[in-house]
Amino acid sequence: MASTLRFSVTFLTLLFSLWVVEVHTSRKLISIKEEEDQTISHLLKDGEFDDPSLYMFFRINDLKYDLKSGSKLPIFFNKDDPQKLPPLITRQEADLIPFTTSKLDFLLSHFSISKDSPQGKAMKETLERCNYKPMEGQLKFCGTSLESMLDLVKETIGSNADLKVMTTKVTVPTQNTVSYALHNYTFVEAPKELFGVKMLGCHRMPYPYAVYYCHGHKSGSRVFEVNLVSDNGRQRVVGPAVCHMDTSMWNTDHVAFKVLKIEPGTAPVCHFFPLDNIVWLTK
Ligand SMILES: *[C@@H]1O[C@H](CO)[C@@H](O)[C@H](O)[C@H]1NC(C)=O
């Protein structure tokens, strides 16, 4: 067992480079009070967001499909370089590695990461976030392998039979290449609301191997399937979107409020999902 762990750790350390930067888009979508304070002022430059990954949020009124006055939504869909993403490991491998804040020092030394480096801080944050107890009405857990994520999803929102998975997909006509940049999008058709579904959104967290933070709420969210086209007509995006109807319990400093220029609890916060997120749905 010890030698297997050593093997996994060496293997992971080799692959371990830019994961802190690569997975940071997802972190913006993790709401609620447990979110650490964030400094926002540096995000705005010349009235535009300096960080394009903030272009994920929208207002519920923007969901209108209206050819004449339909909203143009600036959205940034980014594709992370798979070479730079933390690797997925199997459940057998994951089960050999402790995953708790109390083992942080051990984990840092095994992954040869210094406590004060950005990676070390990100590891600590990920462990802390994963170790929090869910708040009242909140569903949450972390999956350290695809197998454990699937089991936890089934335990949390449903059985095998009716589980569906959704991800965001970007497509282009054959003669074009996808441009993962900020584009203005409009709806191709009316967003389809998926009524009465339970949803869990799973976001990748910064960690030396793939860790998914999955969360949802027992009530208070509306889920949609959207179909968008960029204003140059070249790029289509199909995927899930969610509107959190009650944001009164969210951290006042959550980036969504700055992007949408609203106060907590005054209006729903809606967002699309980065391409590497996994959305689970069940009736
Ligand atoms: C989106 O549209 C707005 C308003 O028409 C324009 O000012 C902005 O530059 C456009 N953004 C992009 C990325 O095309």
Describe the chain by its helix, strand, coil percentages, rounded to 5: 30, 25, 45
**For position 280, what pLDDT does the model report?**
94
Which residue CA neighbors atom 10 of ligand 1 most closely? 184
Determine the number of helices (DSSP H) and then strands (DSSP E) in the chain. Answer: 8, 15
Residue matched to tokens 């290449």: 177
* Ligand 1 centroid from CA 184, angstroms: 6
Name the residue type at position 57.
Answer: F
**Both tokens of residue 90?**
């199997």
72 lines ligand 1 (CB under 6 A): yes
The pTM (predicted TM-score) of the whole model is 0.81
Q: Is the CB of 76 under 6 A from ligand 1?
A: no
The DSSP element (H or E) to which 240 belongs, if any, is strand 236-244
- The pLDDT assigned to 135 comes to 77
184 lines ligand 1 (CB under 6 A): yes
Residue 151 pLDDT: 93
Q: What is the pLDDT of residue 250?
A: 82
Question: How confident is the model at residue 30, as a pLDDT?
Answer: 60
Q: Which stretches of 65-181 are assigned E, i.e. beta strand? A: 73-76, 138-143, 164-166, 169-171
Q: Where are the domains of the chain?
A: 2-282
196 sits in the region (left: phi over 0; alpha: psi -120 to 50; else beta) called: left
Please list the pLDDT of the chain residue by residue as tens digits (283 residues): 444 455 444 445 444 445 655 555 565 666 434 443 333 333 444 445 556 677 889 999 988 877 666 678 989 887 777 777 888 999 999 999 999 999 999 999 999 999 999 899 999 999 998 998 887 778 899 999 999 999 999 999 887 668 999 999 998 877 777 777 888 999 999 999 999 899 999 988 889 999 999 988 877 899 999 999 998 888 999 999 999 998 888 888 888 898 899 999 999 999 999 888 999 999 8
The pLDDT value recorded for residue 23 is 56
Q: Locate the ligand 1 atom nearest the alpha carbon of residue 182 and give its number.
A: 13
183 CA: nearest ligand 1 atom? 13
Under 8 Å CB-to-CB from 268, ≥6 apart: which residues?
59, 60, 222, 243, 244, 245, 246, 247
Nearest CA to ligand 1 atom 4: 72
